[in-house]
Amino acid sequence: MNNLNHIAIIMDGNGRWAKERNLPRTMGHKKGVEKVREIAIYANKLGVKCLTLYAFSTENWKRPETEVNYLMSLPKVFFKSYLKEIMENNIVIRMVGDMERIPSEAREIFESAIEQTKNNTGMVLNFAMNYGGQNEIVKAALKFANDYKEGKKDSLDEESFKDYLYTAGLPDVDLMIRTSNEQRISNFLLYQLAYSEFIFTDTYWPDFSCEDLDKCIEEFNHRTRRFGGLNETKNN
Ligand code: FPP
């Protein structure tokens, strides 16, 4: 067993994986979708409570239209192929991000998957779609300001602010993994990563395996988390 309530992954390197094989970038994303299935089913079996995957950032709109359209078609590909297996594995689907700009077909597919899996009791598989951490914090601040103005809330602290984030109700992120050897957080879960352990791996996302996840968890288990204090908290 492990102490991992929440793993978050920046699934990077799809384009480079495809380029190295003389394939179009979209083939890297296609392979990436298969990896989402494999890693999600495995993480659920390991007892991870929540897995958040960065599927589309607020900055990804800058990509060529054909690639953006392809990325927006992936929810359909994913749920058409794997929703049955997600149900059999008792996984709950959630989504975080700014839904308004997501094309209606992709949004409806997500909403339907969220509805169908809402009574499951296994791992939460949380997709970050049109997600940006700064955007999330600003929206949360505006929501609180509105509640304050309407007299619904009169105080705010670090803990209660979490209720205004897209991730309300989800556990804090213990481990953030980024594939493909890029060492940045790229506007991902800025508030939620405050005390997370970070692991940057060389592997491109389409090559990331269950064994790679095991290795990350093993490394996490050897880290000592102090949360700013002096008491050493080993993870295993
Ligand atoms: C980054 O690689 C990856 C993305 C922007 C998209 C990731 C999405 C998936 C793996 C599938 C999501 C699945 C669902 C169901 C929505 P990159 O293109 O930036 O790679 P590069 O840095 O090598 O160019």
Return the number of other C-beta atoms located less than 10 Å from residue 124's C-beta.
21
Instruction: Give the mean pLDDT of 197-203.
Output: 98
Q: Is the CB of 31 inside a 6 Å radius of any atom of ligand 1?
A: no
Confidence of residue 224 (pLDDT cuts 50, 70, 90): confident
d(CA 168, CA 46): 23
Judge whether residue 192 has pLDDT over 90: yes
Judge whether residue 136 has pLDDT over 70: yes
Judge whether residue 219 has pLDDT over 90: yes
Asked whether the beta carbons of 51 and 39 are under 8 A apart, the reply is yes
pLDDT of 55-100, one tens digit each?
A: 999 999 999 999 999 999 999 999 999 999 999 999 999 999 999 9
| 60 carries an active-site annotation | yes
Rounded (10°) CA dihedral 152, 157, 162, 165: 60
What's the CA-to-centroid distance between 159 and ligand 1, angstroms?
A: 31
Q: Which of 23, 25, 105, 99 shows the shortest CA–CA distance to 72? A: 105
Confidence of residue 25 (pLDDT cuts 50, 70, 90): very high
d(CA 156, CA 83): 39
Confidence of residue 233 (pLDDT cuts 50, 70, 90): low
Judge whether residue 46 has pLDDT over 90: yes
Q: Is the CB of 132 inside a 6 Å radius of any atom of ligand 1?
A: no
1, containing H or E segment: none
DSSP secondary structure string for all residues of 10-55: E---HHHHHHHTT--HHHHHHHHHHHHHHHHHHHHHHT-SEEEEE-
d(CA 85, CA 57): 26
The protein residue with its alpha carbon nearest to ligand 1, atom 12, reads 55
Q: Is the CB of 213 inside a 6 Å radius of any atom of ligand 1?
A: no
Q: Which of 2, 3, 60, 89 is catalytic?
A: 60
pLDDT of 116-126, one tens digit each?
A: 999 999 999 99
The protein residue with its alpha carbon nearest to ligand 1, atom 18, reads 15
What's the CA-to-centroid distance between 16 and ligand 1, angstroms?
A: 10
Report the predicted TM-score, pTM, of the whole model to 2 decimal places: 0.96
